[in-house]
Structure 1
Amino acid sequence: MSERYEYVPHHLLRRPVRDIATGVEGELMAVINENVSDAGREHWIELAYIRRTCGREFTTAISNVESVG
């Protein structure tokens, strides 16, 4: 099995974005390809890390991220 995490370049990094699923807005801090494999199979997902104005970060699928403005 390869590394558990890989940073992915994205055109919206450090820009205002919105999580479509929740409507929460913030700044896209990172996109990470995360290995969430279990014992029998390898599986990777791309997670967006968004920092809200209060400083707290949350994750969502990168497919749920859209540009604000």
Structure 2
Amino acid sequence: MSERYEYVPHLLLGRRVRDIASGAEGELMAVINENVSNSGLECWMDLAYIRGASGREFTTSAANVEPAD
């Protein structure tokens, strides 16, 4: 069985970013390649973990992340 997740390098780690899907902003804490399937078939996706102003982290597709500058 393969690992459930793997950290992925990203140019915007530690920088202020915007989630283009929701418009929310925060600091990009990590990008992780995760198996997001809930069935027997594996489905892997790069998820971005963003910490908002409240201190809570939320996830979005890494493809939805852009610099907030």
TM range, normalised to the smaller chain? Answer: over 0.9
Structure 1 gaps, min length 5: none
- C-alpha distance in structure 1 between counterparts of 2:55 and 2:10, whole Å: 21
| TM norm structure 2 | 0.92
**Deviation readout 1:13-68 (Å, 9 max, x if unpaired):** 000000001100000000000012421x2220010000001101000000111001
Size of the alignment, in residue pairs?
68
| TM norm structure 1 | 0.92
Percent sequence identity is 71
Amino acid at match of 1:53: A
Q: Following TM superposition, where does structure 1 have runs of at least 4 consecutive aligned residues deviating by more than 2 angstroms?
A: none
- C-alpha distance in structure 2 between counterparts of 1:25 and 1:62, whole Å: 14
Structure 2 gaps, min length 5: none
- Is 2:48 the counterpart of 1:35? no
Residue of structure 2 in register with 1:68 after alignment: 68
CA RMSD of aligned residues (A): 0.9
Residue of structure 1 in register with 2:23 after alignment: 23
Please give the secondary structure, in 2, of the residue aligned with 1:13: coil
